Structure 1
Amino acid sequence: MQDPFGRHISYLRVSVTDRCDLRCVYCMAEDMTFLPRREVLSIEELDRLCSAFIRLGVRKLRLTGGEPLVRREIMTLIRSLSRHLRSGGLAELTLTTNGTQLAKHATALAAAGVKRINVSLDTLRPETFTGITRWGKLENVLTGLAAAKDAGLKVKINTVALKGVNDGEVHDLVAWCGAQGFDLAFIEVMPMGDIGGERRLEQYWPLSMLRADLERRWTLTETDFRTGGPARYVDCLETGQRIGFITPMTHNFCESCNRVRVTCTGQLFMCLGQEDNADLRAALRESEGDARLEAAIRDAVSRKPKGHDFILDRRASNVSVTRHMSVTGG
């Protein structure tokens, strides 16, 4: 599949649920109303949808949420999709998780062919963790990360940069990830969805400032390493690990975008920061064959926009896109 700007679409992110066992302040309101289950794609529908994308050229598949590992029968889906790894149709099957359920699932993930995972972790301080997640316990995530290491999974930590919240511990995160053998990616907060009383403009910390802070202590060297995602990486001499920077606000990563996202309700979004979408659930539920589904996918990719237009401004609502990240496929 190729979009209007010549970019080959080979990377699909699929939200398998909008539900999560945490309520991170930059992602969700505390009192969330989740989707009725009938609106969410079944495990069988998710398998069928992902398989159609793989036939059309997707080589990397990431399962997201919400929190994907709270989805009932999620391992049934992962084991089924792993057949595409064995056939060679899929190069990588991975997921992004908050880590709370990893102790339960890490061994099974590795057995199903998952080689690496991204784990969202914004702090190493228990009280700060509970403040960010509203009710989470850091020890559960650390136990899950230990299980992932024991299972042989490669781990990358994703950390959202939050001014006044975790800006005092970025050096600790770099040192800890180095000691654990984890890569690390910092992410700028994005204006997606109503998060209640939290104001994103007050949360926003440009990664140009964060990187300048890091360079006072660490030796960072540019690298051409890519995972297929939006991060731009550097090597950290002192730890031997990579550090990535995902900058949707200060420098968008659209020129090389090879990704599309599907919500847990089957809406295909060609761009994280745009509202245009295609209804794939109708194509799934109203047709036994996949011809209509594949045609809908091709038609949507043919109108993928050049890029997103995230804006944070005191005069604006601080919500550039009304849907929550948890619905969109991370």
Structure 2
Amino acid sequence: MTTLFRAEHLRTATPALVDPFGRRIDYLRLSVTDRCDLRCVYCMAERQTFLPKSEVLSIEELARLSRAFIGLGTRRLRLTGGEPLVRKGFMDLVCELSRHLADGSLQDLTLTTNGTQLAAHAEALAWLGVRRVNVSLDTLDPDAYRRITRGGDLARVFDGLAAARAAGLAVKINTVALKSDNAHELQDMVAWAHGLGMEITLIETMPLGEIEADRTDQFLSLEQVREAMGRRWILKPLMKRTGGPARYVRVEETGGTLGFITPLSHGFCEACNRVRVTCKGELFLCLGQEDRADLRPLLRDHPHDDAPLIDGIREAIGRKPKGHDFRVARNGDGSTVMRPMSMTGG
């Protein structure tokens, strides 16, 4: 059975995924690896333990899993990590998924990256049909970047951004707001991004995983940030939606788009249309909940039959919760979810 026929068969033979609250689930964030070439202080421990290869889905399994979701109505697919571009065979996966862009069964294929490997892959990504990338970047100061990422080289990210823009990729910068590390330069980052024609989204630090830092010290409310920016700029609310949790404004003075993701100060669950699958095949129904479905046995125990996999996905979606339980406690870490963000996928 060809890939095209298989995708078309699934699309016509199975109805779309709808959760218990009537939300149509058409957006998949798929982690291809838990590994990363950086060690950002808010994301993972300095000496992070990674999964053995046997527990990680192969490129072929990731492609098969994606086909099943596409057949069940997924129209947006974001590839994440860890850092997806460090995964061996990653571009083969993009090539396979690009076929679904060509036949119209997939509307949008994107990735989230830290940008360090982007210079080497931007042109090929654009050629395969990727139209935009999200680049995680929390500072424009080389010393601060080195400290936040535990040794990263900011120049490599700038090279990646230049390559992406030259290849015709739309770039959105994702910046985690950190009270002690970058609060003073968030407005400068917005002006910089807009000056280069890039969108930027600010994100509150999320209580995911065990890290050395105290999350109480890191947390910065974006309500306060937005209020301060409103004293400098005119922020015009937009109806723009990209399938994610951000709420957008137009900065009148720069002409650029600015997003806010506020899991702690203001929930974003009411219109949630997405689920996440980790690189080991665990389907998480909510970023801030531990309920999951293990899809890896359904892939490996039934290598030539997708029916059990489809049934497993459907059963899990039937348990999708209404919203997350994120909080930052005042007695230390305050994490409600112990798995690291690098495991879940961004």
Corresponding position of 1:271: 286
Identity of matched residues, %: 61
Structure 2 CA distance for aligned equivalents of residues 15 and 327 of structure 1? 8
Give matches, 1:162-173, under 5 Å. Answer: 162-173=178-189
Q: Name the Cα RMSD after superposition.
A: 0.7
Work out which of the residue numbers 255, 269, 277 in structure 2 matches 1:254.
269
Corresponding position of 2:97: 81
TM-score (norm 1): 0.99
Indicate conservation of the 8 Å contact 2:76/2:109, yes or no: yes
- State the one-letter code of the partner of 1:303: R
SS at match of 1:82: helix
Structure 2 CA distance for aligned equivalents of residues 98 and 316 of structure 1? 28
What 5-or-longer segments of structure 1 have no aligned partner? none
Segment of structure 1 superposing worse, 51-60 or 308-317: 308-317
- State the one-letter code of the partner of 2:242: T
Residue 315 of structure 1: CA displacement? 3.0
Structure 2 CA distance for aligned equivalents of residues 88 and 79 of structure 1? 15
SS at match of 2:183: coil
Indicate conservation of the 8 Å contact 2:122/2:167, yes or no: yes
Structure 2 CA distance for aligned equivalents of residues 207 and 74 of structure 1? 34
Give matches, 1:1-330, under 5 Å. Answer: 1-196=17-212, 198-287=213-302, 288-315=304-331, 317-330=333-346
- State the one-letter code of the partner of 1:216: R
Structure 2 CA distance for aligned equivalents of residues 217 and 172 of structure 1? 11
- Which string of whole-angstrom CA distances, capped at 9 and with x for unpartnered residues, describes residues 245-302 of structure 1? 0000011110000000000000000000000100100000000210000000000001
Corresponding position of 2:6: none
Residue 183 of structure 1: CA displacement? 0.3
Indicate conservation of the 8 Å contact 1:10/1:59, yes or no: yes
Residue 322 of structure 1: CA displacement? 0.5
SS at match of 1:169: helix
Residue 316 of structure 1: CA displacement? 5.7
Structure 2 CA distance for aligned equivalents of residues 202 and 133 of structure 1? 17
Structure 1 CA distance for aligned equivalents of residues 316 and 268 of structure 2? 20
Residue 321 of structure 1: CA displacement? 0.1
Indicate conservation of the 8 Å contact 1:220/1:236, yes or no: yes
TM-score (norm 2): 0.94
Residue 212 of structure 1: CA displacement? 1.1
- Which string of whole-angstrom CA distances, capped at 9 and with x for unpartnered residues, describes residues 117-142 of structure 1? 10000000000000100110100000
Residue 311 of structure 1: CA displacement? 1.1
SS at match of 1:158: strand
- Which string of whole-angstrom CA distances, capped at 9 and with x for unpartnered residues, describes residues 176-229 of structure 1? 011110000000000100112x11110000000111111121111011011110
Structure 2 CA distance for aligned equivalents of residues 100 and 238 of structure 1? 31
Indicate conservation of the 8 Å contact 1:102/1:141, yes or no: yes
Indicate conservation of the 8 Å contact 2:78/2:110, yes or no: yes
Indicate conservation of the 8 Å contact 2:239/2:248, yes or no: yes
Indicate conservation of the 8 Å contact 1:170/1:214, yes or no: no
Structure 2 CA distance for aligned equivalents of residues 137 and 252 of structure 1? 34
Structure 1 CA distance for aligned equivalents of residues 345 and 67 of structure 2? 17
Structure 2 CA distance for aligned equivalents of residues 60 and 265 of structure 1? 20
Structure 2 CA distance for aligned equivalents of residues 171 and 326 of structure 1? 27
What 5-or-longer segments of structure 2 have no aligned partner? 1-16
Indicate conservation of the 8 Å contact 2:135/2:174, yes or no: yes
Indicate conservation of the 8 Å contact 2:215/2:332, yes or no: no
- Which string of whole-angstrom CA distances, capped at 9 and with x for unpartnered residues, describes residues 84-133 of structure 1? 00010000000000000000000000001000010000000000000100
